[in-house]
Amino acid sequence: MVVSALYILDARGRVLISRNYRGDVPSDVISQVKLKVIEAEDDSSTKPIIHDEQRGYSLAFVKVADIFLVAVTRTNANAALMLSFLYRVVLVFREYFKDVEEESIRDNFVLIYELLDEMMDFGFPQSTESKVLQEYITQERHVLESPRPPIAVTNAVSWRSEGVKHQRNEVFLDVIEKVNLLVGANGNVLHSEILGQMKMKSYLSGMPELKLGLNDKLQFEATGRPGQGRAVELEDIKFHQCVRLSRFETDRTISFIPPDGEFELMSYRLSTPMRPLIWVDAMIEFHPYRVNYTVNVRAQFKPKYTANSVKIHIPTPPDADTPSFKSASGRVKYTPEKDVVVWSLKHLHGGQELVVRGYFGLPSIPSSENREQAVRRPISVEFEIPYFTVSGLQVRYLKIIEKSGYRALPWVRYITQNGDYQLRMA
């Protein structure tokens, strides 16, 4: 991929920042770029790649808040890489000054020119890792701290500097799975998926090599062990750039030299059908001047696990008032501005079943249809279950190899959380 020039435009197409890397773009091209980008933004069917055959250039653009980032090339460049680079530029900007908008661009134009010069050299992408850039482009003073680039820029491992030292060598790996679930009024699961993340905090000295093994079905098959324990078939896997993709494609081994500090190692998705972890059933009885609620919650996971910080949001009629509740567990609060009752439980043990009863007055008398429609909104549930993955994914090993031979402590933690978790009411 070769980029001839990069522009940052405001919402009207006026140039805030421009950087001509190769000198092969005429000065009047920016007027054409402005027109094409603004026209493309107005047309929702237009793709973020525009090719001008007459002038012999192509451009890719992304919009963030009220600004446009535009990359122009005169070669047959990889469009996906151009867009990926632009999004990477946005991430680096956010690491430095958080909000990426017109005002922040104007306030940090000196810093931005420094970053653009280091992230791309003569149109070729260089270092795009913010942690490496922050070593020699200071965030506070917005000037180069040292004229010498860090070793990581010229090293093959661009996301990590050499000479990293820690008094205590440790690695923390969090396997976090979020459950998206929709249950119909008849009790059938209409949609279910698991979105997983592996977040790592690496505090290791030197240049360590890590190898991670999972109970991945394809990994078992690649190593000739298809029958060993429960295997999980992962979908839509995305890795941090530190992972050696060629090694993973060959034998499904996750091998990498980690960045120093916190980063997301990988993400994945599973669309397998599942049983609701927390089941909620609400019975609603309408009377002329009141409505009665009986809500049952049941934890449908093993007793050795416990769900923490459980919150159940139950819809109520918009004209309900004078609430009263009876519950042996947790805290029940009526939130009239959202027309919901929130039942909060500090802990919900596996297999446990609890009940809450609520009573509301109905001072006005709208049609029964309006009230029924109001309470037919789905029940939503929030929760977090530590030491548990709903997919069954397990870390089989996490090996740390470093040429100095020091011993490091790996820590692995599993957490299952709610995503968009809803149960429709009958």
Per-domain residue ranges of the chain: 5-154, 170-274+390-423, 278-386
Do residues 279 and 300 lie in contact, with contact meaning Cβ atoms separated by under 8 Å? yes
Residue 186 one-letter amino acid: N
Q: In the 8-state DSSP scheme, what is residue 378?
A: P
How many other CB atoms are found less than 10 A from the CB of residue 170?
14
Model confidence pTM above 0.75 = no
Fold match flag (5-154 vs 278-386): no
Token representation of residue 313: 């949001």
Of 235, 242, 195, nearest to 217 (Cα)? Answer: 235
CA distance 160 to 409: 20
Do residues 106 and 142 lie in contact, with contact meaning Cβ atoms separated by under 8 Å? no
CATH T-level topology, domain 278-386: Immunoglobulin-like (2.60.40)
Do residues 245 and 239 lie in contact, with contact meaning Cβ atoms separated by under 8 Å? yes
pLDDT of residue 40: 61
pLDDT of residue 101: 86
On the 0-12 / 13-18 / 19+ scale of CB atoms within 10 A, 199 is: middle
Q: Reading across the β-sheet that carries 290-299, which strands appear in turn? A: 278-287, 290-299, 353-361, 321-327
Distance of CA 150 to the CA centre of its chain: 29
For 85, phi then psi, to 5°, come to: -65, -40
Handedness of CA 244, 253, 218, 236 (dihedral sign): negative
HSE-up (13 A, CA, CB side) for residue 199? 9
> What CATH number does the domain located at 170-274+390-423 have?
2.60.40.1170
Distance of CA 185 to the CA centre of its chain: 30
On the 0-12 / 13-18 / 19+ scale of CB atoms within 10 A, 99 is: exposed
CA distance 348 to 385: 9
Do residues 181 and 189 lie in contact, with contact meaning Cβ atoms separated by under 8 Å? yes
Tell which CATH classification among 3.40.50.1000, 3.40.718.10, 3.40.50.1820, 3.30.450.60 matches the domain 5-154.
3.30.450.60
pLDDT of residue 219: 61
Residue 69 one-letter amino acid: L
pLDDT of residue 44: 55
pLDDT of residue 151: 46
CA distance 129 to 153: 9
CA distance 116 to 122: 11
On the 0-12 / 13-18 / 19+ scale of CB atoms within 10 A, 195 is: middle
Q: In the 8-state DSSP scheme, what is residue 124?
A: E
CA distance 395 to 245: 19
Coil, strand, or helix at residue 405? coil
pLDDT of residue 345: 96
pLDDT of the chain, 426 residues: tens digit per residue: 788 888 898 877 788 888 888 888 777 777 766 666 666 665 555 678 887 777 778 888 888 888 888 888 888 888 888 898 999 999 888 888 888 888 888 888 888 888 888 888 888 888 888 778 877 776 554 433 444 445 445 456 778 888 899 999 999 999 999 999 999 988 899 999 999 999 999 999 999 999 998 987 766 665 555 555 578 888 899 999 999 988 888 778 899 999 999 999 999 999 888 999 999 999 999 888 889 999 999 999 999 999 999 999 999 988 888 999 998 899 999 999 999 999 999 999 999 999 999 999 988 766 555 777 777 889 999 999 999 999 999 999 999 999 888 889 899 999 999 999 999 987
